[in-house]
A and B are shown apart, each in its own frame.
Chain A
Amino acid sequence: MKRKWIHPEEPQTGKRYWRSPAELEQRSEFLSTLGVEFPAGDTLTEEEAGNSRRDFLKLMGASAGMMGLAACRRPVVNILPYTNHVEWVIPGKSLLYASAMPTPTGAVPMVVTTHEGRPTHLSGNPLHPVGGGLDSFAQASVLDLYDPERSQFPTIGGKSATWAEANKGLENISAEVKKDGGASLAVVVGRGTSPTVQRLLGEVKAALPQAKLFSYEAINSAAQNAANNEVLGATTKTFVRWSKALRIISLDCDFLSLDPVAGETIKEFTKQRAQDKPSPEMNRLYVLENRYTLTGGMADHRKPLAASLIPAAAAIIAELLDIKDGSALAAAAPAGLKDWLAPAVRDLIDNKGRSVVVAGSRHGAEVHALVAAINNALGAYGSTIELLEGGPAAATLGTAAELETALASGSVKTLVSLTPSNLLFDAPASVAKSIQEKGVKIVHLGHLPNDTARAALLHIPAAHYLESWSDVRASDGTYSVVQPMIQPLYDGTSEIEVLLALLGRKKIGPVEKPADGSAPAEDPAYQAVRDTFAQVAGSLDETKWNLSLRDGFLKGSGYVKSSGVINAGAVAGIVSKAKAPTAPSDKALEVVLTPDAGVYDGRYISNSWLQEVPDPITKLSWDNAAWIGSVTFRALELKNGQMVKITVGDKTLTLPAIEAPGHVQNSITIPLGYGQTQLGFVASDTKGTGRGFNAYPLRSAAAEFVLTGATLEKTPEIYQLAISQDQNTMEGRAVYREGTLETFAKTPDFAVKTGLDSHIPENISLYKGQVGKKTETNPDGFDYEKKHQWGMVIDLSKCLGCTACVVACQSENNIAVVGKDQVIKGRLMQWIRMDRYFAMSEWGADKAKSDEVNIDPTAEQLENAEMVHQPLACQQCESAPCETVCPVNATVHTDDGLNAMVYNRCIGTRYCANNCPYTARRFNWFDYNKRPLDELYWGPLSTPEKTGVRESLQLQKNPNVTVRMRGVIEKCTYCVQRIEAAKIKQKQTQRDSKNFRVPTDTVKVACQAACSADAITFGDMADRNSAIAKVKGFKDEKDPSKDLPEHPRNYELLKYIGTRPRTSYLARLRNPNKAMPGADKIAAWSAHQN
């Protein structure tokens, strides 16, 4: 008898999770995509496709000819061994090096995987005191190294030049600035903390006492620094201990993602959110912000609040703590803000010494001063916030504002730009104006031939951090040496080398071999780093040097505890200077400029992985857009992608709008960094007109990120945005589960009591496949004795949704980038889909009771929607629906529980993808790996430039994973290459013994290694000591008393369809404060929720 499983009814009441307002409201634009696994592409004419009939005949003729030829002779393949052996290199094995990536706020410690000298993959350095995972920027930075659109030769006056000419030019400049003691010279560096750069800047200052030194980056924290200098002292650094913080208020601070706060790693924060047993030690996060950030998504209580009102919120918190300094600022606060804040602050006071308030770096000095006073009153300093002594800087650097003034005064004649920012693109317009008017000569060091490079007298291609010697200090001060993995691909040069050249100690560019054949002299940059190391370590101890190269950091080099005290008196002074905030209105909107989750401040514009990975909040790829909250969006009757003209003062910007649930009204958020023109295809599109829209010109000062008094005008034009939020849907089936700490205490197994999991009928299938554990009663099951059994668990309490795993997977598994057009057609190839759901449990009274599926939320409800993330890749079902429909056995099960994908067998019927209930399979519609993205549609007989392969990009590929071709399905394989490598390694040690099992928890899959929140657990379920067995449970056949129980929060997606996935999830916990308004609605759960 055939049994048909009926999917559970759509819920009429209670909580609903949805990805887009269109899905929530069941609009036709959403419904039309449902059930269509592969949206149809637009049809191409023969000419567009590049295949005319003539081409077809040519092709047929050629292939017939080649068939004959191929039969004649076996193609000769050569083996080219090394002539002289390379130290450490074993052909076929990867080599790992510890290094660190310099970032604006410190460093990301990492381990670099290299294959025969090519860095291919990056992962976090777990040994490092603040090491852990990587963010998506660090993860993707390896692709920048191989970027074919990188700057590859120096230019002088815009024309390409040789390195000899560039050296000559630099010599001339340094000779010229020497004449007046450097009075006409300005050197601009980034926020980076390279101690060697600082030391060399000190030397520049000593050699040229008149020279001006500045620090400039587009995204900066100038106001925060100014406030901290006054309140905490110039050399004091803060370090937040998340592990000790039980109650946290974030004032528009995205500390989990784009606005990092110096402190312990994110996993120390998430560790407290993942509870095995209900415990009061779970932290509680309150967030006030204008738009959704990943931090806001993690919040237990979130208040959408205009960014211009953050000072008011800070003032109210201060008031509640009896700090009266900010009373004037509190006046503008909207009704209800104080009611919302009062119980939250009460909660913080109740946990004095275990609470902390953090504020976004974009905000003014008054906010940071108040927050310092608040934290002081909460007893945070010394407990949740460590004060560290940073030591005096080797050189004092001017701010961006001072740079503007210096340029305007005309005293600067030569500007040496070493900052990773793009000065002429992202600095306020007055900078470009002064440079042009005063005829300032620019020497520019950069990765891309961008605006500043084109305007520069001398542009020098920068070396990637994987190509050069440097050093960094992490947020806790730990010193790391950045070591080169590869000779500069395009002879680029580093910041340190340019400074050395300015000091006359080195030439830039490729090292010339001495004519007499002797060994080249020691690299001065290497020497410079070693000198700094000697300073930091106390002496140049070779053992210490080698150890810190091996471990990736110098042990014990972190900042020491500071004896500094809070200068509470300074707070009042700073706050009194601040302007009272005004609430934005529909006549005077506010515009908030934020770093972009893909391109940051624009520096990653040429990185196709970052461009393509959907923004974690809006799910937008390849573009930026104005995020507008539902209230404003609907009041203006806008459509997604509709162009809007935003005017701030005398500056305007026209860009597409996107509806952002959870975004506060009368506020617009625009991610920065887009709109760079005349770069390559990835950065600027085929026509070079730029991708996205440049919001930098809207601001008038470098420290201005919240603009007020803006107006918005609708235009009829619609711009096509690549939003993937409604692609690969699971048709609204309840897949996300969450509950509160209270629910967890009352019903520990609430996760499995959600949905129909407890009503699943017994499996009476006649199919006796390989399912479950092999026992006497189940002889066909999986063998737990003689095989590994791989499984994965993702803890939704920990997952932020940052998409670092998506990029890590892309880097490890050679996943192709498809380009904007293909994303629009739903052809994203990323194996991990970071599903972002909004959720609401509050409905209009009429609709909630009606029988209609349509639910009409009010715009205000949309403004207060919750947001959650769920990463989803192939679930490795034991009883996999994809396998039964493959006509060629290209997807089959292995004995260790993997749902294997055999690319060389796949003929591309796509039946498997159609049958996958999780929509986790991807199809190669084109030869993405063989063609430049803008030439996908050309036939194989078109010109070589069109079908050519970018050679440098091939260097990044992981040699242990097949590079898939057109017409093949692909999907997550649990990094089978890593599993096989581990098993083979075990065979090497096992040799003639029986011990086949790989050591416990030694296989780390790429997403797991990348996760800074530690949300992913992977391992051998048949190994009772493994971390995964502790979550999934373990049955001991011999001694049932030794059974390990299953984690109470563990649940499987769509369990009722009986696929038995090997990947499961731990339901998310939230910890709402009962005293807060609306606390009962948060993560509301009822036993038969869906």
Chain B
Amino acid sequence: MGNFFPRWTNWLPLKLAVAAGFIVFGVSLAVPYYFTPKYTRVGYEPTQPVPFSHKIHAGQLGLDCRYCHSFAEVSSHANVPTNQTCFNCHGPGKGNIKASSPKLEKVIKAAETGKPIEWVKVHKAPDYVYFNHSAHLNRGISCQNCHGQINEMEVVKHAEPQSMGWCLECHRNPEQKLRPLDQITNLNYKPEQLDRSGFYAGLLKKGVKADEIAATIKEGSSAGKLEDLVALAVGKYGEKVTQLEVGSQLKKHWQVQPPENCTACHR
């Protein structure tokens, strides 16, 4: 019997095994990166039928988000505005602003025919996820937390992964995101810009006891008046207000307990 296989084949199984090892390694790295919403969703930037610029409206003009998405605070759904909302400024007999702009062509046509504009959905929660805008906006979560710097986007794009893990990250540590209610639609909000004594004065005015606030800043400490609190906070967080400072106070005194139960989102 001669040798059917040439000599080099002796190493073949080992080579294959090594190659397979690399492939498995590569795939196991690639899947968690490419198969997650972080890769598949973030950056999705479809062309919309009407070239509406959030940068101009929300950024330059400073329109409040709720001018158009008017029910976001009361409903699960942050509504896309009706034609009438657009026409409040652009419509004939109203503001009539840029009424002849070709960009408004589809808006005018929709008003004439009654057929709605077919906007392309950017942020889509799966059918089995029951997300509620009002629950978040009323409790210190900003539009920006989930949708990014909309005021800087010419065309809206998917800025955050909005995956379940991403949701839970915040539900487990809400203090990383909470902000005062009057800052919810302030897309440029930075905790550093907050006035510390104003912030604590607001809490005191709401009936929160100074001692409780002090205990949240530093365990076991107590305070009699506003100045003591400010001094305590400067000692703990430094000159500038920090997110953790604001977040932990709000979490404590608003009883923010984001649900981690399945039924919170799946029914």
State A76–B253 Cα separation when bound (angstroms): 42
A83: contacting residue among B76, B110, B128, B254, CB under 8 A? B110
Contacts of B76 in A (CB 8 A): 92-93, 984
Query: A993 to B206, Cβ gap below 8 A?
Result: yes
Nearest residue in B to A80 (C-beta to C-beta)? Answer: B116
State A994–B163 Cα separation when bound (angstroms): 29
State A82–B87 Cα separation when bound (angstroms): 13
Contacts of B226 in A (CB 8 A): none
Query: A81 to B259, Cβ gap below 8 A?
Result: no
Query: B116 to A90, Cβ gap below 8 A?
Result: no
Query: A91 to B132, Cβ gap below 8 A?
Result: no
Would A900 and B261 be within 8 Å (CB), given that A77-B121, A993-B206 are in contact?
yes
Contacts of A84 in B (CB 8 A): 82-84, 114
Cβ of A28 under 8 Å from chain B = no
Cβ of B16 under 8 Å from chain A = no
Nearest residue in A to B76 (C-beta to C-beta)? Answer: A92
B134: contacting residue among A91, A786, A984, CB under 8 A? A984
Query: B120 to A91, Cβ gap below 8 A?
Result: no
State A510–B84 Cα separation when bound (angstroms): 28
Cβ of A895 under 8 Å from chain B = yes
Mark the stretch among A294-302, A577-585, A669-677, A973-981 that contacts chain B: A973-981
Contacts of A895 in B (CB 8 A): 259, 261
B130-141 interface code vs A (CB 8 A; 1 in, 0 out): 101011001110
Cβ of B266 under 8 Å from chain A = yes
Mark the stretch among B1-9, B67-75, B186-194, B236-244 that contacts chain A: B67-75
B124 to chain A, nearest CB (A): 6
A874 to chain B, nearest CB (A): 13
Cβ of B119 under 8 Å from chain A = yes
Cβ of B219 under 8 Å from chain A = no
A56-79 interface code vs B (CB 8 A; 1 in, 0 out): 000000000000000000101111
Query: B119 to A987, Cβ gap below 8 A?
Result: no
A992: contacting residue among B40, B132, B181, CB under 8 A? B181
B77: contacting residue among A92, A896, A961, CB under 8 A? A92
Would A81 and B262 be within 8 Å (CB), given that A92-B71, A987-B139, A996-B257 are in contact?
no
Contacts of A786 in B (CB 8 A): 255, 257
Query: A81 to B82, Cβ gap below 8 A?
Result: yes
Query: B82 to A83, Cβ gap below 8 A?
Result: yes
Nearest residue in A to B85 (C-beta to C-beta)? Answer: A85
A978-1007 interface code vs B (CB 8 A; 1 in, 0 out): 011000100110111111100000000000
Cβ of B145 under 8 Å from chain A = no
B160-202 interface code vs A (CB 8 A; 1 in, 0 out): 0000000000000000000011000000000000000000000
B146 to chain A, nearest CB (A): 16
Interface SS of chain A: loop
Cβ of B115 under 8 Å from chain A = yes
Would A988 and B74 be within 8 Å (CB), given that A85-B84, A980-B130, A996-B255 are in contact?
yes
Query: B120 to A76, Cβ gap below 8 A?
Result: yes
Of residues 518 through 553 on chain A, the ones whose CB sits less than 8 Å from some CB of chain B are none
Cβ of A1041 under 8 Å from chain B = no
| Total number of residue pairs linking A and B with CB closer than 8 Å | 145
Cβ of A892 under 8 Å from chain B = yes
Of residues 192 through 222 on chain B, the ones whose CB sits less than 8 Å from some CB of chain A are 206
Cβ of A962 under 8 Å from chain B = yes
Contacts of A962 in B (CB 8 A): 127-128, 266-267
Would A81 and B263 be within 8 Å (CB), given that A74-B44, A90-B71 are in contact?
no
Query: A82 to B120, Cβ gap below 8 A?
Result: no
Cβ of B235 under 8 Å from chain A = no
Query: A91 to B263, Cβ gap below 8 A?
Result: no
Query: B254 to A976, Cβ gap below 8 A?
Result: no
Query: A83 to B115, Cβ gap below 8 A?
Result: yes
State A90–B132 Cα separation when bound (angstroms): 14
Contacts of B261 in A (CB 8 A): 892, 894-896, 898, 900
Query: A892 to B262, Cβ gap below 8 A?
Result: yes
Nearest residue in B to A964 (C-beta to C-beta)? Answer: B128
B174 to chain A, nearest CB (A): 13
Query: B132 to A984, Cβ gap below 8 A?
Result: yes
Most buried by A among B76, B134, B250, B263: B263
Query: A91 to B75, Cβ gap below 8 A?
Result: yes
Query: B263 to A992, Cβ gap below 8 A?
Result: no
A903: contacting residue among B79, B180, B266, CB under 8 A? B266
Query: B121 to A78, Cβ gap below 8 A?
Result: yes
Cβ of A208 under 8 Å from chain B = no
State A979–B259 Cα separation when bound (angstroms): 13
Would A80 and B118 be within 8 Å (CB), given that A898-B263, A996-B255 are in contact?
yes
B1 to chain A, nearest CB (A): 43
B131 to chain A, nearest CB (A): 10
Nearest residue in A to B140 (C-beta to C-beta)? Answer: A992
Of residues 74 through 113 on chain A, the ones whose CB sits less than 8 Å from some CB of chain B are 74, 76-85, 90-93
Would A81 and B116 be within 8 Å (CB), given that A962-B127, A984-B134 are in contact?
yes
State A1010–B110 Cα separation when bound (angstroms): 43
Cβ of B24 under 8 Å from chain A = no
A90 to chain B, nearest CB (A): 5
Contacts of A765 in B (CB 8 A): none
Query: A904 to B181, Cβ gap below 8 A?
Result: no
State A894–B259 Cα separation when bound (angstroms): 9
State A898–B262 Cα separation when bound (angstroms): 10
Nearest residue in A to B41 (C-beta to C-beta)? Answer: A74
Would A76 and B46 be within 8 Å (CB), given that A84-B82, A977-B267 are in contact?
yes
Query: A991 to B111, Cβ gap below 8 A?
Result: no
State A896–B250 Cα separation when bound (angstroms): 23
A82: contacting residue among B116, B121, B253, CB under 8 A? B116
Nearest residue in A to B46 (C-beta to C-beta)? Answer: A76
Nearest residue in B to A92 (C-beta to C-beta)? Answer: B77
Query: A91 to B44, Cβ gap below 8 A?
Result: no
Would A991 and B181 be within 8 Å (CB), given that A81-B117, A82-B116, A83-B116 are in contact?
yes
Cβ of A960 under 8 Å from chain B = yes
Query: A991 to B138, Cβ gap below 8 A?
Result: yes
Query: A83 to B83, Cβ gap below 8 A?
Result: yes
Of residues 93 through 130 on chain B, the ones whose CB sits less than 8 Å from some CB of chain A are 110-111, 114-121, 124, 126-128, 130
B128: contacting residue among A74, A79, A81, A904, CB under 8 A? A904
Besides A962-B267, A991-B139, 12 other A-B contacts (C-beta < 8 A): A78-B119, A79-B118, A91-B77, A892-B261, A905-B262, A961-B267, A984-B135, A990-B138, A991-B254, A992-B254, A994-B253, A995-B255
Residue contacts A-B, CB under 8 angstroms, 6 given: A77-B121, A90-B79, A905-B266, A987-B139, A988-B138, A991-B181
Q: Which 4 A-B pairs have the closest CB atoms?
A: A92-B77, A894-B261, A92-B75, A77-B121
Interface residues of chain B, those whose CB is within 8 Å of chain A, are 40, 44, 46, 71, 73-77, 79-85, 110-111, 114-121, 124, 126-128, 130, 132, 134-135, 138-140, 180-181, 206, 250, 253-255, 257, 259, 261-264, 266-267
